[in-house]
Structure 1
């Protein structure tokens, strides 16, 4: 069974070359990278205010 899948995959990839598969892989990686950047930016914006509030509360409690 594995040989049939390998032969079919080879028959599809060889005529078109590896470019479409490589482009699809790069597209997925770029999409994941952009998602991580956007998520990180949102997390920073979300928690930045909390850190300032927590610092003020600690300073007020110490005083």
Structure 2
């Protein structure tokens, strides 16, 4: 028979480790936002220049 942890113990462990879970989620969110900002910063000028060159070629 498997060793089943009573619900009260699992909730107690969850509450005990909740700050760690929240810190990990917050840091992951910050990382994703920073990665998106850097991607936009590095990719947007290239796309903007390509767009301007295409417009200049037409006129």
**TM value normalised by structure 2:** 0.70
Does residue 33 in structure 1 map to residue 29 in structure 2?
yes
For structure 1, list consecutive stretches of 5 or more residues without a partner in the other structure. none
Hey, what does 2:38 align to over in structure 1? 42
Does residue 24 in structure 1 map to residue 20 in structure 2?
yes
For structure 2, list consecutive stretches of 5 or more residues without a partner in the other structure. none
Poorly superposed stretches of 4+, deviation over 6 Å: none
Number of aligned residue pairs: 55
